[in-house]
Structure 1
Amino acid sequence: MRVIMLGGLGAFPTADEGCCGFLIEHSGQRVLIDPGYGTLAGLQARMPAAGIDAVYVSHGHPDHCADLQPLLRVRVLTDRSGPALPVYAPVGSLGPLLAIDEPGMLDPAYELREFEPGAELSVGGLRATTWSLPHWVPNAGVRFEADGSTVAWTGDTGPSPDLVVLARDVDLLIAEATYADEMPERHAGYLSTAAEVGRYAAEAGARRVVLAHRWPGTDPETLLTAARQAYDGPVSVAAPGLTVDLDEPATTT
């Protein structure tokens, strides 16, 4: 199993980097996770839009799903006979996004498979277990498993005991870490710091960690320093092109 980051930011993209979507490649399948602002360009630099086999969206905020809409446009406007793309998302989360185009135009491009956070799913050949994690809107943290490899993704979340369960002994934890170690009051309970990620990753025994969703302009080194206060395993900050091959030994970066 291989994981490729398409960006690393939360909130909005910059001229140099998109938001924190990523790809999971396994046994010839490619699953796209949280295609937020600015992820489609990086995706198409690697493969055609038709090369995606499934999409998983943790929640409906646009920095996690906005580029699904142009992805579907590319697929339907270049090949109307192509297969419908399975799209997994919490119930009701994608309605506003999918309604912005002319009625019916995108319908052949996707098959929406809505679920309640807490469900177990099969996504592009991966077994997916989901958790409802605290955010302003329904957010489904997820653990993907196949052939003994595991990848967990928190989506956006405030503190929750379920984060340790989600990350327990996982090969790779991709965790929202918008801030380093201080949380603005307006975001308390709904987002995470790298210091918090380090603490629950250590408790869970996660084998390696990628810190994602950093606030634009944040120095990545501040996130690494904060996470390493409690976590002594390999830890990286999400950035375009960062690749983790779970068949290779973990190394500290």
Structure 2
Amino acid sequence: MRRLSVLGTCGAWPEAGRGASGFLLEYEGFRLVLDLGYATLPRLLEHCAAADVDAVVVTHEHPDHCADLSALCRALTFGERRSGLVPLYCTPGVVRRVQAMEPTEDLLDVFAVHPLPGSYRVGPFQLDGVLLPHHVPHAGLRLTAPGLTLAYSGDAGPAPALARLAAGADLFIAGATLQGARSDDGDPHLMSASDAGTWAGRAGAERLLLTHFWPGSNRERSIAEARSAFSGDVVAADEGMTLPL
């Protein structure tokens, strides 16, 4: 079974009934979590037990991408145990930020930390983390396994590295925080839906999954703006959505 399940889609903070950034990637029984922002753990636990998570990757230290790493730590500390530490691939600052919420439980008792950017073998995947522009150190992700290439921009701004990150990807998961045409003085640390479409097209990606929507955004508008720059399939991520891969 190869599928991607959406755990949360909001940037900054979650809207009612939604979560912040988070995905579960399943490939032939291997479970890889991509980001764990606010309110994503409950949806993760709808798919698998905490002890069944094989690895976690966190793009950067902003809490809308890593806050529920604390909740996963507690679930593994006080709930069902697993043998061995959970591999955690993350940028500098993530462990320090999450550990600040854990005054008594040590994250290093649960997670084996590997720094991003960098390249690693993670179960069936080749994981390549690429530095992308953001307000804090941030890694975009490229995951390859037999028959599958997936790229994830996280919450980064537009950059030429995106074309390499998502080159020929079967699925490009891209942040679409902003709407409207980008101006010369636009925020270089965030992408718009049209940016996402532009870079998906330059990368030659097959499908584009938009995520990281600013709360209150009209998601149909984001889809339309991405489609104006990308001729492939465009979908807006939604909590509870599962995409076969």
TM over 0.5: yes
Instruction: Write the distance in 1 (CA, Å) between the matches of 2:183 and 2:45.
Output: 35
Q: After TM superposition, what 4+ stretches of structure 1 lie above 3 angstroms from structure 2?
A: 79-82, 103-107, 182-187
> Which residue of the partner structure matches residue 200 of structure 2?
201
Alpha-carbon deviation of 1:186?
8.7
Alignment of 1:119-130 (within 5 A): 119-130=118-129
Question: Counterpart of 2:156?
Answer: 157
RMSD of the alignment, in Å? 1.8
Question: TM-score scaled to structure 1, two decimals?
Answer: 0.91
User: Are 2:16 and 1:15 equivalent residues in the alignment?
Assistant: yes
1:49 Cα deviation (Å)?
A: 1.1
Contact 1:76 1:82 in 2 (8 A): no
- Structure 2 regions of 5+ residues with no counterpart? none
Partners of 1:201 and 1:211 lie apart in 2 by 11
Q: Post-superposition shift, 1:185?
A: 9.1
Find the aligned partners of 1:175 and 1:45 in 2 and give their Cα distance: 24
Q: Distance in 2 between matches of 1:240 and 1:179?
A: 19
Q: CA deviation at 1:184?
A: 8.9
Q: Does 1:31 align with 2:32?
A: yes
Q: Tell me which residue corresponds to 2:175.
A: 176
Q: Counterpart of 1:18 in structure 2: which amino acid?
A: G
2:142 paired with 1:143? yes
Distance 2:82 2:142 in 1: 32
SS in 2 for 1:112: strand
Distance between the aligned counterparts of 2:184 and 2:16, measured in 1?
28
Distance 1:12 1:31 in 2: 23
Aligned positions of 1:34-45 closer than 5 A: 34-45=35-46
Equivalents in 2 of 1:23, 1:222: separation in Å? 26
Alignment coverage as a number of residue pairs: 244
Separation in 1, partners of 2:185, 2:77: 40
3-state SS of paired residue (2:94): coil
- Say which SS state the counterpart of residue 63 (structure 1) adopts: helix
- Matching of residues 161-240 of structure 1 within 5 Å: 161-182=160-181, 188-240=187-239
Structure 1 residues 4-153: aligned runs within 5 Å:
4-80=5-81, 82-115=83-116, 117=117, 119-153=118-152
SS of match in other structure, 2:195: helix
- Taking a change above 3 Å as real, the CA distance of residues 126 and 46 of structure 1, as seen in their structure-2 partners, is same
TM-score with structure 2 setting the length:
0.93
